[in-house]
Every structure is written in structure tokens, then in C-alpha cells.
Amino acid sequence: MEPARNEALEAWMREHGYSSNSLAEAVNTTLASLTGKHGGLDGSSVRDWKAGRVRWPKSATRAALEQLTGLPAADLGFVPRGQTSQPPVPPQEDPMKRRLFVSGVTSAALTAASPASSAPRSIGMSDIERLQQRFADVVASDHRHGGQLGIEQKASALADAALALQESGNATQRVRSYLYGCAAAFRSSAMWAAIDGRRFDEAIQHMREAQALAEMAGDGAIKFRIWSHAGAMYRHMGRPTQALAANNVARQLHINRRDPMFASLGLARQMAILGAAGDHTAARRAYDEAQGAMDRADPDEYRPVWLNAFYDQAELDSLALSAYMSLRDYEKAEYHAYRCLSGLRSHMRRSKAITTARLARSQLEQGASESATRTAMSVSIDAATQHPRVALMLRDFGVRINDIVPGSTAADTWTEYAQATWGTTLA
């Protein structure tokens, strides 16, 4: 008799955009944070779960799954030994319910924080842990999709939910500091989603709220994130002087001296800003210093989930790519693009699309129009149509190829492809 498929797990994976390989990688990473040892799961392990061949994973794996998903293993369709049936598969979410999610986040938090009893509720670390898991979900969603208004709204609502907990009961000063830190983290994610979506007025508003919350939390890591995001925001707005000033605030925080990985990220973003400012020598020096700091960093040092989720050698090369594109040094830009793509983790879908679009442009500017066109056409349609930064890059590519090689086979191929794919030349 064939084992029953784990339809609940399959439904959760579809909802959250996981393949078998990417879920295995995410569980391995979570295992490392829980146990200090990276897991050995691969795509075949997850396929065994989905097919029902493994009905009750090992305890450490279950703990990692539960932390990653925020759900008990039984709700994910796993069946404890000794039981014979799975729980019913949760119904697919109605689109209207999805639209109502954001507005319901804060009210749900308030409801949970307002028991029928008149006795004040005690707020503890379990509340913090639940918020931190939601923050991990927001970070993961950002790296998969990026720049979406829904991500910005969800992060904003969760920041409000964290603040609502402050008013809902009794807590120690330590717990209250953590709550402010959670609210600042969510608000900084809303800020980044707005930056990535080119909604700069909203990003500035999120930045100001996040800065105030981070001060109340006294959290150096989240202060770094906010000011570092501010530097990136001003760079994207074409204001390099303000970008350097904001990034310098991040780089002067004590956490840079405590952990070279923070210092490396600050220097890497400084490099991208210096590239935008046209300072080739300073940008190259910043890259060397960023690489040196990364090489000195202890890989076993505890770091926040948002930093672990994206900053590595691939991201350093991505920022170098950005710098050299600004400096019109397209040969070095192409070199760093290939290095970045070879090291990108599977969940970094937004970064892959951005890097590929920049690679296409660097090839085009070096005269390799046919290779550039093939590269540009390899950008996923979802990213090209739904991510504002990627769409802008491809529109610029369409304009530039018709400037450089008008009427060529490459230009005609791109125009036909863009018209057939998006109903526009993106020019």
C-alpha cells in the first residue's frame, strides 16, 4: 500500500514559495542556529516527507521545521509514531482573506494581549520569540520577492503589533527593550521594502520611526541596519553626500569593532556609494578593506537573522558590481557579477535577478550585444514584471541596446522578446 502524501506540507510549501531543495537548505540553516551544526538534508529528504515515506522526522529536524514555519509538526502533516492518520489539510487561503491579513495582524495581537480576565497579562520571552520568527519570515519573503508593497505593509503591521504588546500587560525592562527592538526590526524591513520598490517618501517615514524605536531598544545591531539602509536609500536617490553621512553613522557604531562582519558590510556599502560618487580609488580601497574584514570575521559568531540571511561573499561581490557599474568599469563589473552569481544562495531570488540584469548591461557596454541579450532574456519574468528595480534596469537595457546597435539582430531579438513577453519593449 502506497503511503499517503503529506498534502499539508505541500500546501505550506506552495504558499510560501519553497521548492524541495530550498526548504532543505532553510531547515539546515535553522538546525545550525539551534544546534551549532549544519544539517545534512537535501531535496530528496523533503521529497520523502512530501511523499509520506518519512512520516515523523527526527526530533532536531522537527524543532527546526517548527521554528522555520511557526507551526507544530502535526499541523505540517507529520504523524507521530503510533498514530495512523494525518490531520486534515488546511483549506487554501481565499484571496480576500489574503488582502485582509495585514489589517488583521495588529488586531490579532491586541486580542491575544487582552484576556477576558481583568488581571494584567504577563509579557515574556515566548512573545519575543514569536515576533522574532515572524521577522525571520519577513526577511525570507523579502529575499524571495523584494520591493513588494505587501511586504512593506506586513512589516509595518507587525511593528505596530510589537508596540501594542508594550501596552497590553506587565513586562521586565529587558523584555520591553526586546519589544522595541522587534518593532524597530520590522519597521526597518518596511523601510527596505519601500527602498527596493522605489517608494522613497515612505522609506524616509519608516526610517524615522525605526530610528526612534532602535534608540529605545538600545540595540546596536538594529541601529546599524537602519543607518546602513539609510545610506543605501540616499544612494538610490542619487544623493551620495547624504548616503556617505548616513553610512558613516552605521560604521561608527561599536558593533563594527566587536564584529568584523558588520565592519565589512559597512565598508562594502561605502564602496557602492563611493562608486556612485565617481571616486574610483576610494571605492577600490573600500572593497579591499571590506574583503579583509570579512576574512577576519569568525564564522561561528552569533549574528542577527537579517545579517546571516544575506551578507556573504556573494553580496560583497554584488556591491562591488554596483560600484563598478557606476564607475563605468564594465570589465570589472562583469567579473564581480559572475562571482556573485556563482555564490548566491538559492533563496536570493531578487538578488539573482538584479545581478543578472546588471551583468547583461556590463556585457552590452563592452560590445557583446548578443551575449548581453541572452543574459537579459534569462531574467525571470516574475522579477522583470513585479520588481521595480529589475523592471527599470531592463527598460534601460532596452533603450541602451537600441542606442548602441540599432537595427542589429540583438536589438531586434530583444525588442521582439520584450513585446511578446510583457506586451511592451520595456524601452
Domain residue limits, the chain: 7-76, 375-427
Q: Is the pLDDT of residue 70 over 50?
A: yes
Task: Tell me which of 140 and 86 has the higher pLDDT.
Answer: 140
pLDDT score at 423: 67
pLDDT classification of 383: cutoffs 50, 70, 90: confident
Taking only the tens place, the pLDDT of each residue in 311-365 is: 999 999 999 999 999 999 999 999 999 999 999 988 788 899 999 999 999 999 9
pLDDT classification of 268: cutoffs 50, 70, 90: very high
Share of the chain above pLDDT 70, in %: 85
* Range in 65-69, 91-95, 201-205 the model is least confident about: 91-95
Q: Is the pLDDT of residue 28 over 60?
A: yes
Q: Give the containing element (helix H, strand E) for 420.
A: helix 409-422
- Category of 247 on φ-ψ map: left (φ > 0), alpha (ψ -120 to 50) or beta: alpha
* Cα atoms found within 13 Å of the Cα of residue 398, Cβ hemisphere only: 20
Task: Return d(Cα 345, Cα 144) in angstroms, integer.
Answer: 11
pLDDT score at 267: 98
* Cα atoms found within 13 Å of the Cα of residue 390, Cβ hemisphere only: 25
The secondary structure of 349-413, three-state, reads HHHHHHHHHHHHHHHHHCCCHHHHHHHHHCCCHHHHHHCHHHHHHHHHHHHHHHHHCCCCHHHHH
Q: Is the pLDDT of residue 242 over 90?
A: yes
pLDDT score at 111: 43
Instruction: Please tell me the pTM assigned to this model.
Output: 0.69
Q: Which residues of 166-197 are buried (b: 16+ CB within 10 A; e: fewer)?
A: bebbebeeebbbbbbbbbbbbbbbbbbbbbbb
Q: Please state the rounded mean pLDDT for residues 257-264.
A: 96
Q: Is the pLDDT of residue 133 over 60?
A: yes
How many CB atoms are closer than 10 A to CB 280? 16
Placement of cell 494581549 in the chain? 113
pLDDT classification of 141: cutoffs 50, 70, 90: low
Task: Tell me which of 25 and 406 has the higher pLDDT.
Answer: 406
pLDDT score at 342: 95
Task: Return d(Cα 83, Cα 64) in angstroms, integer.
Answer: 22
Contact, 303 vs 261, CB < 8 A?
yes
Taking only the tens place, the pLDDT of each residue in 173-197 is: 888 888 898 899 889 989 998 998 8
Q: Please state the rounded mean pLDDT for residues 47-74.
A: 84
What secondary structure letter does DSSP report for 278? T
pLDDT score at 170: 79
Packing angle of the helix pair 220-236, 173-196 (nearest 10 deg)? 20
How many CB atoms are closer than 10 A to CB 301? 11
Taking only the tens place, the pLDDT of each residue in 84-104 is: 554 444 334 444 433 344 344
Q: In sequence order, what are the residues at sequence separation of 6 or more whose Cβ sits closer than 8 angstroms to the Cβ of residue 296?
A: 260
pLDDT classification of 144: cutoffs 50, 70, 90: low
* Range in 23-27, 219-223, 423-427 the model is least confident about: 423-427
